[in-house]
Amino acid sequence: MKRANRLTALLLSGVMVLGLAGCGSKEKQPGEVLGEAVAKLAQVKNLEAESTMEMEMSLMGETMTMNMDMDMVTFNNPTKMRCDMDLSLIGQSAGKMTYYVQQDGDKYTMYLSDGQQWISEDVELGDVAQFDAQQNIDLYSENMENLTVTEEDGKTRYDGVIKGAAIEEVVKASGALDSMDTGLDPEMLKGMFDGLGDLPISVWVDSKSGYPVHYRMDMSNIMTGMMEKIMSSMGDQAADLGLNISKLVIEVKYSNFNEAADFEIPAEALNAAA
């Protein structure tokens, strides 16, 4: 009997060891791995990023393309950012802007130049989220669902979608609405994001460094649905314009982690009147 009890105890111990080993070697889910990569990016002291926004729209029967390219440099603790923006319409330059953001204690100041003059204003950090490459990818990846994983060219690509209530927060953070003056009251805006479907997004993580190095967000269907709602709410006047956004794709690529080129805010910017 004692021998049988010892044998049973050994068998149970073996089962427990195997079970613990299985728990310890449990493969991480794609969302966990992506979350760790984004968390690692959040610890970076500085970085550079290139952002592109491609838009195609129609107005009064005419189709137009608009591209916005941004070169960004971000330093953290304290925050210091620079963004050079180049806007083109139908393949022609439509203007260039330069932004700087500087933190002084709890205060953030933005300096803006259109190539002719500088202006400055006090802002909240959330007001310049469009230029904060680290903050945005954290928001986007956190809300990704239905993830699939593909290995390609030394990178791991995570494809997924953003759904439901998270779409409103993501669209606003992307800066896609900054240039749109809808003229709608706040109550109407509350329903503008309802029933728009899913927002596809892809994130690439470098297999060697473990950093996210690229993301692409296709907001085409979302913007089409939003514009249909806006035009419908504005009645016949808007119908005559025939305004529609059929394509809006945003891409951001990161580089020079902790090795970004430092910069000084120009004296003429610092001396600009608010």
Tens digits of per-residue pLDDT, 8-45?
A: 443 334 434 334 444 444 678 888 999 999 999 989 99
C-alpha radius of gyration, the chain, whole number: 24
**Can you give the pLDDT at residue 20?**
41
**Can you give the pLDDT at residue 47?**
95
User: Tokens 């979608």 identify what position?
Assistant: 161
CA distance 170 to 178: 13
Residues 112/115/117/119 CA torsion (nearest 10 deg): 0
- Residue 208, token pair as written in the block: 């060697």
Closest CA to 73 of 214, 267, 264, 271: 264
Task: Please state, as a whole number, how many other Cβ atoms lie within 10 Å of the Cβ of residue 194.
Answer: 12
CA distance 259 to 210: 16
DSSP-assigned letter for residue 129: G
Closest CA to 121 of 113, 133, 129, 131: 113
pLDDT by residue for the chain (274 residues), tens only, comes to 444 444 344 333 443 433 444 444 467 888 899 999 999 998 999 999 999 999 988 777 788 888 999 999 999 989 999 999 998 887 777 789 999 999 999 899 999 999 889 999 998 877 776 667 677 788 888 889 999 999 988 999 999 999 988 888 888 777 766 655 445 555 556 677 777 889 999 999 999 999 999 999 998 888 888 877 777 776 666 566 666 788 899 999 999 999 999 999 999 999 986 5
For the whole model, what pTM was predicted? 0.80
Which phi-psi region, left, alpha or beta, contains residue 86 (left: φ > 0; alpha: ψ -120 to 50)?
A: beta
Is the peptide bond between 30 and the residue preceding it cis, with omega within 30 degrees of 0?
no
Torsion over CA: 210, 136, 244, 235 (sign): positive
Contact criterion met (CB below 8 Å) for 212 and 37: yes
**Can you give the pLDDT at residue 48?**
95
Residue-by-residue DSSP string for 197-213: --EEEEEEEETTT--EE
User: Tokens 């749109």 identify what position?
Assistant: 180
